[in-house]
Amino acid sequence: MSSAAHPDHNRPTTAVVGLLAFAGLIVTILQTMVVPLIPELPTILRVSPADASWMVTATLVAGAVATPALTRLADMVGKRRMLVVSMGLVVLGSICVALTDTFAMAVVGRALQGMGTAVVPIAMGVMRDLLPAARLPGAVALMSAMFGIGGAVGLPTSGLIYHAWGWEAIFWVIAIAGALLMLGFVLLIPPLARGTGGRFDWPGTIFLSAALIGLLLAITKGGEWGWFTGRTGLALVVGAIGFAIFVPWVLRRRDPLVDLATAMRRPVLLANVSAGLISFAMYVNMLTTTQMLQVPVPGFGMNAATAGLAMLPAAFMSVALAPVSAWLIGRYGARATMLLGASVLGVGYLLRTVLVGEVWLVIVGAAGLSVGSAIALATMPVLIMQEVPMNQTAAANGLNSLIRSIGTSTSSASVAAVLAGSTTVIAGLVVPTPGAFALIHLIAGLAALVAGVLIFLVPRRPASERG
């Protein structure tokens, strides 16, 4: 890689990697931070439970819509600048929620927080620009590990903060952390290369936004609205029309919001589809494990905080596997490493359909699944960056991030549908049956194995190009 790609090798790159990884952690935590509050939100915000669910939906949809635009702007005007802007949206959104006593403003704040999820793909672009090729897999693996850590740590931490200082304190913590990160971006990250310039694709942004809003609303709210109701159908129609207009539009443009020509290349396409399937499987682990531990059967019946703490071994595995993933990528290549991660995840789920009779089996099973997802997640961005030009790194990772968001959204809807479809009554409570958990784990395992097959179909790279 040329020296032009790394304008200042004397910069404290270790500190920069740590800063960017911490930013990834904060962004991941904000996606799950309100989950422990869901039972309390109707009372806090004086709304119905259905309305309160928008505190989760708004973040998800806004993040999916904003990420392609913000990552494209990062390639155009500079990644450091857009890192500051994206984290600024997180800070602004957190302050809005912390200060408001109205539901509408709280939803707006959560949407602004969601827009800040573009930090992660932009940060990976910064890593590619700043780091020597030999260090990139390790840095990307560390950033990817934040997905598992943030999901596992965010649940118990936000619950503890809420019980100690109130729900506003959760958002003040994120706001302060975000402000410090913005300062760190300015002080530690060098200017890097100039942006590519060009004209921003505003019509394409509008078309893609409409498509994503329709699709994600149908996925995330279909269970609540009813899968065959007019609202769900309207959302799907809006999404379909949006995509039908967006695709031919970007194919005709010289500077599109999403470079579909690159995205449709076989290695990139297969890697992105695999990313969606892996994200689906990964999120099932996060969603079902805490529920299984809270089911009031002999040996279980944990409260929400304790069940969240039981996910810490899974979070630890995500951290521990970061250097291992980097070594595997360097030794065997990104393709083989991601194939390994998908295989471990798939086989782990198949085992978990039957090995769930004791609490320790559930916890160990979750940690084992975290091994597979950590390896696969760490490898995805490397696989993508190997196939795209330097000046499209942020946008390519943004598209990958978007597909992963669709995967997790579909996972959440699938878990809710499967668990609600088979219930029993224990101690007066309606809870999912063991068979329901086994079924969703089987589905997740098959998704991971299909992802492995797709990665197997990615063309091999010469040994001289690995890593």
Domain ranges in the chain are 3-201+253-465, 202-252
Residue 320 is predicted with a pLDDT of: 81
Average pLDDT taken over every residue of the chain: 85
Task: Give pLDDT tens digits for 284-326.
Answer: 987 788 778 877 755 577 766 677 677 778 878 877 887 888 8
What's the residue count for the chain?
467
pTM listed for this prediction? 0.81
Q: What is the mean pLDDT of residues 189-215?
A: 83
Residue 152 is predicted with a pLDDT of: 65
CA-atom Rg of the chain in angstroms:
21
Residue 350 is predicted with a pLDDT of: 93
Residue 8 is predicted with a pLDDT of: 46
- The CATH superfamily assigned to 3-201+253-465 is MFS general substrate transporter like domains (1.20.1250.20)
Task: Give pLDDT tens digits for 121-168.
Answer: 999 889 988 888 788 888 888 887 787 677 667 767 777 788 788 889
